[in-house]
A and B are shown apart, each in its own frame.
Chain A
């Protein structure tokens, strides 16, 4: 019995010794991809559409697992607890960049090494089609005359609608009732029933409803109008001062643990660059209201830093940040 046990130990120790210096052979087994949002959501869809093309370039399978909960804190924490050997990658959205100022966690993407910033989602401010407003300016005028009366659909503190509201409020005043829903879907459902008056949404979620004529787009969060919604004016038409925040939108990124060996980061970055560039995935992003970015290395880090600084300070200016960005070392834009 003891002999067997010892042989087993010796064997496993032998395998360990054989595996550790073999980074050059990466990847020699399946990679686990942890998605920080649930099945069927935008981040999940992006991850599942992208991964087959990355697998092709990487030459191994990537097994995807959803670890939702706590605005994505749980999924990110899972990856940060795993060994830094490149066999666990995080598929994340923009949320980690707001964890420090929302007091959710003391880490953000700077605690990891970004492999790829995949793309950015476009944002549209939508309202039920039967409203009299033609654009965001009309809505602002109405809100100025009737402060605190309009019902805005939100997704909770740090969510996309509350961030957009904070940006608007840092250059103008938009006093609304913030009604919180579990996500874009439940918010749109409430808007279709006339239970809320407007909601900032990802283009992916709103596009079909605007096309069907049940909702209308009041503004897109860009400097110029976009191909997908040619009739919806850019938000700068109504609020020119907001331009300094633009282009702004939720994004998706892939990251690994900070102390992952450089060669492995290089292999992964290369595979993800090819995956994101694949024409099928590019088409998927375009059809789902996203703009491909495909940023690696320093470029990715710069993007993440700029996004964090712009968003965190807008939230701070509107009084929505729980911890001042200054306190957690986020520089002013």
Chain B
């Protein structure tokens, strides 16, 4: 039912693509990150919450249709529905059913409930397309509560030493998780690019802690000892260095490994990710009951081999997901 083409993942009977990277007529979009939602499609179909994100990223003039989780749409005889993937706001697995045969493309997903995006829904299916960003047994995330404690303690320590806590995290998804973890700990300031995406959360009725927008071009003295959240592009920027007595932290799954933490030479690295860890990937794949699994971006070779060894038929497929992000950029 699926075909992995140079344009993207094609649903053959439906005639539409999922997260294509070349222009097509109809693109079903799993979520708003730039490696999944690209420019140039004649029409987009995605979750309601993803609509404003696509518009802010791709232009307000795009043709986009938003649907709710579990709301079926029929395209050329294929029944299509979106289901929570737990990755970021509006992130969805695409379920396609045709003549009783069910295929699910999961996009990016995580198993942990971050309290912001709807938690991952397990879908029984015949074929399952999974990511494998953290497909090695070295990746085991701590509980969300423990992660929150870590961040809070780090900020408290900084404040005790008169330092400003600067967090580096993806503007869509990670930044909001950091905000949530630090609610009430200290005043929160976010970069403009994050504030824009915060609105997507707020318009969906998701509560975020209070924040102000920090203009780093202006005077930054008032940020002292507070919390500042910036996108990865500003990690080594000149404006960032001007923040008074700053200590910076990177929040990313890659920070699980000491070498990665030391390479980036930030003051702290927290292994907080919007992707599934090793047990998360395994449990999800097993729970779908899929008889065929396609493994995309990340540790494709390793995860595919392991699944095959454990009796789950798996195949590695080449996509262009994960490409835009550097391997150590927050994932």
A-B interaction: no
